[in-house]
């Protein structure tokens, strides 16, 4: 028998919340329209353990808290109150009397909807009643392992993909009608949305949050977001959400000093402060904070059918010293810099998410060298199923920025990643972080003339797509946006009027579809046997060649990173036969110079690169080629 306490709550819910084991605390915390003892109204519940008194204030009581004082529930630290005869749409906050005698006003940490900034109040909202149409998607997801299938992610900032004018954003529904079919047509398998939790400052891109359970009102209502996700699933697209459990912003209406004391961030300012970002770290040693965050991860999957979370700033969470001056360094009980509480939290997070959603994606944005990030927790890992490969990204962008004449001296930058490519389950990210703050766009990182920039970006994309690991590309990069990303304006769609950008756009679309269709490029991503160098040592000519293997299939990849035209370039191939050209980055339709490339290449019985057969190719400058054995045309 469930033991209830006043206001319709039950002891078990509160016990689990205080213990750090409440996985669905959003179902009873916050504001919920309910029927209590035959009366319609809203039950409010908030955690404020050190508050002397808590009141509900809002449009329904003229913001006069004396009329709605909340009940303290034992020693749980939770205050609750049922307010009769109110419902959805009511605007509210909590008014807390602190131990210092001051009254402070706070938004609801569990609010499902918030006023549009600069206003900061919470809005009573029911998340029930949306009729989901994604049963077929959910069934197909259960039958597809993310490890042995294509994963090609389009990273999107909803506030600048397209806009109607200054701060006149597309709604969730409008993005469903425009962004979703576009991404599907381009061949992506998933859309990754930069954070959608409510945040006060546009320029934070959603990474500095006040309302963790509140889908931002910039783009509409929570049910509008549900329609967006439903549309993605109808088009065969998964949805990944950037999720930020590492820190929160300091705005007065948010979590900082929530009840007049640091209950979410912890008492030690040296540990709580994130000086680089001007934010506060969560206190992962606090059980109620763990319940708050783990419930939030489950919430996005429960309520919005999100298919995965990209967990932001893992390195900053697990390292107590990261981005802090020496005078702010703190140590764990063993005397080290590892945040043991954060490590326990991440393991518990992944165990919980996969318990409820075994087919979901949990991706770590992690720049650390922490081992076994994508190994199960029972094997000592952190329990994620994918990790961003920041090492590959940094090495490759450094290499591509070099003058081609200097590349022979830095050949290791394009080969080193294969020494560790199978130590984790990797995603190769070309994300928003690489095209802002003076870093230049991907296209403008490339050296040389205008034409050479495009040729090298096509080459780089080809190598990225065929290197072991799943893929992520930030919006606008698919047509070679020349300017950096401008978060307050929309992407430079107008450049598609120019042949060079239009050719790049066509190239990326074709490359995306080849990737999805060619199983050798993703089927055995986790296995070292999926990759075989043909020639790894040709630093003088800046050419590499290798083989990707699937289950019974293989492809051959050749990449010329030099400005030289190699008219007769021979490579060894593993089997006798006719090698069909799947992609040639220098074709004229993509903006290149080649108009008459051969559709296929016949192998010759000339031993080369340790193989009995070889083929002779013409390799123009900055060219990527992808070949596959045509089983119907052996000779």
Report the pLDDT value the prediction gives residue 454, as an integer from 0 to 100. Answer: 98
Report the pLDDT value the prediction gives residue 2, as an integer from 0 to 100. Answer: 47
Report the pLDDT value the prediction gives residue 597, as an integer from 0 to 100. Answer: 83
Which residues, other chains included, contact 22 with Cβ-Cβ below 8 Å and sequence gap of 6+? 13, 16, 291, 294, 295
Report whether pLDDT(195) > 90: yes
Spot the catalytic one: 108, 265, 312, 478.
312
| 3-state DSSP of 25-92 | HHHCCEEEEEEECCEEEEEEEEECCCCCEEEEEEHHHCCCHHHCECEECCCCCEEEEEEECCCCCCEE
Among 536, 558, 537, CA closest to 462: 558
What is the tally of structural domains in the chain? 2
Report whether pLDDT(233) > 70: yes
Rounded to 5 degrees, what are φ and ψ at 405? -65, -25
How confident is the model over 494-540, as pLDDT tens digits?
999 999 999 999 999 999 999 999 999 999 999 999 999 999 999 99
At 300, the pLDDT band (50, 70, 90 cuts) reads: very high
How confident is the model over 114-126, as pLDDT tens digits?
999 999 999 999 9
At 633, the pLDDT band (50, 70, 90 cuts) reads: low
Spot the catalytic one: 230, 273, 365, 366.
365
Q: What CATH code is carried by the domain that includes residue 30? A: 2.60.40.10
In a domain, 489, yes or no: no
Q: Is 283 a catalytic residue?
A: no
Q: What CATH code is carried by the domain that includes residue 623? A: 2.60.40.1180
In a domain, 548, yes or no: yes
How confident is the model over 440-488, as pLDDT tens digits?
999 999 999 999 999 999 999 999 999 999 999 999 999 999 999 999 9
In a domain, 597, yes or no: yes
Exposure b/e, 573-605, CB count within 10 A at least 16 = b? bbeebbbbbbbbbbbeebbbeeeebeeebbbee
Residue with tokens 């999926």: 530
- Residue ending a domain, choose from 76, 106, 123: 123
- Residue ending a domain, choose from 93, 123, 153: 123
In a domain, 370, yes or no: no
In a domain, 218, yes or no: no
In a domain, 398, yes or no: no
- Residue ending a domain, choose from 86, 105, 123: 123
In a domain, 523, yes or no: no
Report the pLDDT value the prediction gives residue 1, as an integer from 0 to 100. Answer: 42
Percent of the chain with pLDDT over 90: 95
Report the pLDDT value the prediction gives residue 596, as an integer from 0 to 100. Answer: 83
Q: Is 202 a catalytic residue?
A: no
Report the pLDDT value the prediction gives residue 8, as an integer from 0 to 100. Answer: 77
In a domain, 615, yes or no: yes
Range(s) of the domain holding residue 602: 528-630
DSSP state for residue 365 in the 8-state scheme: -
How confident is the model over 390-410, as pLDDT tens digits?
999 999 999 999 999 999 999
């Amino acid at each position: 028998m469930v033991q209830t306490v006043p206001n319709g709550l039950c002891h078990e819910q509160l016990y689990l919340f205080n213990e750090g084991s409440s996985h669905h605390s959003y179902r009873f915390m916050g504001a919920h329209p309910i029927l209590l003892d035959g009366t319609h109204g809203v039950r409010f519940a908030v955690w404020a353990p050190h508050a002397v008194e808590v009141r509900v204030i809002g449009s329904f009581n003229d913001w006069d808290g004396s009329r709605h004082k909340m009940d303290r529930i034992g020693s749980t630290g939770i205050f609750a109150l049922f307010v009769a005869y109110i419902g959805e749409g009511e605007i509210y906050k909590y008014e807390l009397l602190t131990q210092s005698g001051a009254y402070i006003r706070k938004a609801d940490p569990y609010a499902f909807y918030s006023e549009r900034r600069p206003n900061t109040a919470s809005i009573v909202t029911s998340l029930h009643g949306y009729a989901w149409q994604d049963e077929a998607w959910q069934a197909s997801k259960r039958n597809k392992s993310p490890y042995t299938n294509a994963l090609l992610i389009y990273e999107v900032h909803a506030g600048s993909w397209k806009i109607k004018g200054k701060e006149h954003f597309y709604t969730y529904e409008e993005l469903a009608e425009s962004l979703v079919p576009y991404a599907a047509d381009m061949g992506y398998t998933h859309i990754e949305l930069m954070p959608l939790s409510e945040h006060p400052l546009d320029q934070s891109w959603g990474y500095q949050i006040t309302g963790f359970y509140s889908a931002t009102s910039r783009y509409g209502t929570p049910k509008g977001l549900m329609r967006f996700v439903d549309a993605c699933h109808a088009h065969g697209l998964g949805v990944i959400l950037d999720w930020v459990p590492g820190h929160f912003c300091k705005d007065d209406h948010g979590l900082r000093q929530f009840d007049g004391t640091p209950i979410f961030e912890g008492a030690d300012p040296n540990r709580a402060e994130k000086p680089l970002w001007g934010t506060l770290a969560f206190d992962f040693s606090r059980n109620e904070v763990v319940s708050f965050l783990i419930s939030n991860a489950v919430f996005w999957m429960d309520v919005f059918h999100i298919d995965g979370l990209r967990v932001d700033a893992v390195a900053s969470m697990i390292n107590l010293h990261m981005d802090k001056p020496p005078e702010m360094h703190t140590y764990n009980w063993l005397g080290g810099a590892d945040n043991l509480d954060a490590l326990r939290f991440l393991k518990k997070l992944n165990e919980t998410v996969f318990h409820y959603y075994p087919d979901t994606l949990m991706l770590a944005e992690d720049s650390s060298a922490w081992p076994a990030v994508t190994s199960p927790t029972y094997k000592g890992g952190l329990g994620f199923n994918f990790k961003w490969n920041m090492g590959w990204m940094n090495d490759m962008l450094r290499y591509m920025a070099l003058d081609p004449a200097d590349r022979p001296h830095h050949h290791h930058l394009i080969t080193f990643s294969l020494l560790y490519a199978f130590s984790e389950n990797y995603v190769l990210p070309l994300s928003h972080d690489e095209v802002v703050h003076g870093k230049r766009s991907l296209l403008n990182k490339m050296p040389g003339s205008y034409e050479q920039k495009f040729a090298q970006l096509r080459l780089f994309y080809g190598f990225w797509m065929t290197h072991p690991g799943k893929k992520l590309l930030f919006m606008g990069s698919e047509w070679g946006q020349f300017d950096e990303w401008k978060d307050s304006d929309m992407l430079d769609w107008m450049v598609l009027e120019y042949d060079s950008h239009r050719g790049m756009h066509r190239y990326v679309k074709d490359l995306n579809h080849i990737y999805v269709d060619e199983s050798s490029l993703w089927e055995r991503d986790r296995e070292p046997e999926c990759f075989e160098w043909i020639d790894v040592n040709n630093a003088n000519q800046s050419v590499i060649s290798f083989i990707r293997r699937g289950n019974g299939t293989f492809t051959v990849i050749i990449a010329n990173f030099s400005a030289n035209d190699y008219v007769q370039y021979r490579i060894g191939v593993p089997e006798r036969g006719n090698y069909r050209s799947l992609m040639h980055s220098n074709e004229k339709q993509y903006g290149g110079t080649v108009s008459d490339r051969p559709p296929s290449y016949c192998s010759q019985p000339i031993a080369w690169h340790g193989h009995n057969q070889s083929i002779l190719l013409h390799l123009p400058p900055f060219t990527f080629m992808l070949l596959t054995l045509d089983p119907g045309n052996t000779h």
